[in-house]
Every structure is written in structure tokens, then in C-alpha cells.
């Protein structure tokens, strides 16, 4: 498996924090333990070799249904490829979900100075779905963390105003969790439809 200088540098600096790493088609990913997130993120932002001054995206994945259901043929029939063409050699196949944990919080960083990217993946357990907020380092994380909390119910420790951002306040549950019933409706007015 190919690696990247960014991954090696992070792994050398935080050997205990890095659980795994891979590069998938040139995108470097580091899987981190939850407790060391803030420390590593601060290093990524302030170290002159990284200078990750742009938090491009912050999202989460619910792996609880991953691999348990057959892929629906919807996309295949629509002409959108569901797996890569065999003519493209896949030297670094995706290694799969990062851990046994149900959730993973995903951070995408970019450095406008060095023009390089790094993805951090933090596995989060279902019973203790909580990670540190990155607002002290990147203020733009505010709304992104609210969105992840709204959709997945993952808490961000230290967030100043963790409330719903997409759904309305009366909404119950977190709709992008795989155990949210796909046909559950919570209209504010009108009949349930």
C-alpha cells in the first residue's frame, strides 16, 4: 500500500493516537483515537509543514447498516457506476470501515499554503457519541458540528450553541441515523403524510 508523507509525519509524531491510515486514490486518511483529536488537530493547524488552515468539511458516517444489505440496483440501472471499472487498476483498495464503532466523524483539511489535503476519521461509539469541538481552532466548524449533531446525534464537547440547524426544534430523533425509520414523518402542520 502506498503511503503519503503527510501520513508518515503524523504517525511519527503521534504513534499512540493513530489507529490506522490509508491512501485511497491519492487521498490520505488517518484514523485517530477520539481522545487525541484536539491535540492532533492543533498540530495540523500550527505546524509549518502542515499549515492546515482550512477545514473544508466535517461530517459523519453511520456504519451500523454497512455491508448488511445488498446494494440496491438503483444507481446501477441509472448508469452511475457503483464499482470502479476493472480497466482502472485499483492498487489501493478502500480498506473498509475504520473500526468496529458505529459512527465515524470525518474531517477534511486543506492547506492553502502547501496545497495539500488530509482526512481525519475519528471512530465514535454509539453509547458514548461525543468528540471534542474544533471551534477553538477553526471557527467555521460551528455550523458543521451543529449539522452533524442534528443529523447523527453526535455531541461536540465545548460547542457553545449545539442546537439543530437543518431540522426544526420540535423534530425528534436524528434522521440520518440508519435506525431512523425511513417512513417516519413529523410534520409541523397538516396531516402525517
- Examine residue 191 and tell whether it contacts another protein (CB under 8 A): yes
Q: Which of 80, 81, 88, 188 binds another protein (CB under 8 A)?
A: 188
Q: How far is the CB of 102 from another protein (least distance, A)?
A: 20
- Examine residue 89 and tell whether it contacts another protein (CB under 8 A): no
- Examine residue 165 and tell whether it contacts another protein (CB under 8 A): no
Q: How far is the CB of 110 from another protein (least distance, A)?
A: 29
- Examine residue 110 and tell whether it contacts another protein (CB under 8 A): no
Are 72 and 186 in contact, with CB atoms under 8 Å apart? no
Of residues 45, 48, 50, the one with CA closest to residue 8: 50
Write the burial class of residue 131 (CB in 10 Å: 0-12 exposed, 13-18 middle, 19+ buried): buried
- Examine residue 127 and tell whether it contacts another protein (CB under 8 A): no
Question: Based on CB atoms, which residue is closest to another protein, 78 or 85?
Answer: 78
Are 144 and 165 in contact, with CB atoms under 8 Å apart? no
Are 92 and 141 in contact, with CB atoms under 8 Å apart? no
- Examine residue 24 and tell whether it contacts another protein (CB under 8 A): no
- Examine residue 190 and tell whether it contacts another protein (CB under 8 A): yes
Number of H helices, E strands in the chain: 4, 7
Rounded Cα gap, residues 67 and 83, in angstroms: 14
- Examine residue 187 and tell whether it contacts another protein (CB under 8 A): yes
Kindly list the residues in this chain that would bind another protein in the complex (CB under 8 A): 167-168, 175, 180, 182-191, 193
Amino acid at each position: 500500500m502506498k503511503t503519503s508523507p503527510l501520513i508518515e509525519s503524523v504517525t511519527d509524531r503521534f504513534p499512540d493516537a493513530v489507529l490506522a491510515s490509508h491512501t485511497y486514490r491519492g487521498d490520505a486518511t488517518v484514523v485517530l483515537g477520539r481522545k487525541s483529536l484536539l491535540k492532533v488537530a492543533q498540530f495540523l493547524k500550527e505546524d509549518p509543514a502542515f499549515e492546515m488552515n482550512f477545514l473544508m468539511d466535517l461530517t459523519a458516517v453511520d456504519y451500523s447498516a454497512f455491508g448488511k444489505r445488498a446494494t440496491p440496483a438503483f444507481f446501477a440501472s441509472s448508469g452511475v457506476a457503483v464499482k470502479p471499472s476493472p480497466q482502472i487498476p485499483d492498487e489501493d483498495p478502500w480498506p473498509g470501515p475504520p473500526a468496529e464503532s458505529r459512527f465515524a466523524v470525518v474531517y477534511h483539511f486543506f492547506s492553502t499554503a502547501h496545497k495539500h489535503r488530509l482526512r481525519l476519521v475519528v471512530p465514535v461509539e454509539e453509547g458514548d457519541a461525543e468528540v471534542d469541538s474544533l471551534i477553538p481552532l477553526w471557527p467555521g466548524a460551528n455550523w458543521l458540528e451543529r449539522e452533524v449533531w442534528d443529523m447523527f446525534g453526535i455531541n461536540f464537547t465545548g460547542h457553545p450553541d449545539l442546537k439543530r440547524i437543518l431540522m426544526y426544534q420540535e423534530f425528534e430523533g436524528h434522521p440520518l441515523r440508519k435506525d431512523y425509520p425511513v417512513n417516519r414523518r413529523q410534520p409541523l402542520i397538516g396531516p402525517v403524510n
